[in-house]
Amino acid sequence: MKTNGKTEFLNFRVGTLSLLLIVLMPLAGYARHIEPPAPAETAGGGCALDAWLVELLEPGTAAESDAEPTAVRDDEWWTKPALAPVPPFAPPPAPLSVPVDANRERRFDPQQGFAWSAALQQSFLFNSFLQVWRVTMEAETRAELGGPFFKDYFRSVKGLRGWDDGDNFLTNYIGHPMQGAVSGRIQIHNDPRGVGQDFGLRREYLNSRLKALGWSALFSINFELGPLSEASIGNVGMKPREKSQTPMAFVDLVVTPTVGTAWLIAEDAIDRFLVRHLESRISNVVLRATVRGLLNPTRSMANLMRFKYPWHRDNRSL
């Protein structure tokens, strides 16, 4: 919807603050679980924590054990040392057939099909969130809520024409691509063959992101023209507005999935080359979670749509 410059700037600041709160507020709850681990006696009578600290500070001094490694429970996450430093441009690891993460509620098997039910539910939740945001933040949207629903809806859809809808650069080329990246990530999260793919020029990775592009395009069409959309809620396109004679235009339908998929791929590259590089050098788990959340904002939002922590990753634990 169209608003004046002051309102757009206020909405941008509120949106930025909301994203920061979404990413950072859960960290407080996660950090509350930090407490010193109970000392456990090792086979030689010493404390397991002492032995771990010695090995962490002076690698190679602790005695090596031939016992099979045991899985680390969620309540023992603080005992995991930082990842070993790796070169920032190291070759990507092979995609995991079954992603490993102690925080996951279920595991993906590449032999299973696409999780349609979960993908549709998460997409519906995200679309509902966007529509509620529009009604809450945009006075013009609230002003057009009255009138005959179906008649005004079809008139709005018929108003689709032209390229420019009158919105500013920030809305059309930043906000909508981020929306497209979130919806594409929802598809990836529910695709067993794509969820474990790391950035790279591989056929499997590219095919996965092309599927995300298609899902994002369908989501964008529904957001603009569907039963729960800008056309049905607020009747964008039904009549000319102050900034444009064609407020329902093609710019969002094209830019949202295309630039949004490019944004998604860029976050994949940042996660592989920068986030992992920083994780290997940061031992503080709260700081590592913050880095993950802030450097991949649309992935963080998609995680929230499936009720995961913003910093969640399907191919590695925190």
Mean pLDDT (whole number) for 197-222 = 96
pLDDT at 250: 94
| pLDDT in the model for residue 32 | 45
Question: What are 113-125's pLDDT values in tens digits?
Answer: 899 999 999 999 9
Instruction: Kindly state the percentage of the chain with pLDDT values over 90.
Output: 53
Within 113-271, where are the H helices? 116-137, 139-143, 149-158, 169-170, 176-189, 203-225, 251-270
The answer, yes or no, to whether residue 185 has pLDDT greater than 60, is yes
Own/partner pairs for 53-59, CB < 8 Å, 24+ apart?
Answer: 56/81
User: What residues does 47 pair with on adjacent strands?
Assistant: 41
Q: What is the mean pLDDT of the chain?
A: 79
Q: Which residue has the higher pLDDT, 313 or 244?
A: 313
Alpha-carbon distance 168 to 173, whole Å?
8
Q: Helix or strand or coil: residue 50?
A: helix
Give mean pLDDT, residues 293-314: 96
Do 198 and 246 form a contact (C-beta atoms < 8 A)? no
Distance between CA 94 and CA 217 in Å, rounded? 29
Please report the pLDDT score of residue 140 as a whole number.
85
pLDDT at 147: 86
Q: Provide φ and ψ at 141, rounded to 5°.
A: -65, -45
Q: What is the DSSP-derived secondary structure letter of residue 171?
A: I
Q: What is the pLDDT of residues 172-184, one digit of tens each?
A: 999 999 999 999 9
Asked if residues 148 and 227 have their Cβ atoms less than 8 Å apart, the reply is no
Q: What is the pLDDT of residue 8?
A: 57
The per-residue pLDDT for range 246-268, each reduced to its tens digit, is 789 999 999 999 999 999 999 99
Domain ranges for the chain, please list them: 138-318
Predicted pLDDT of residue 238? 84
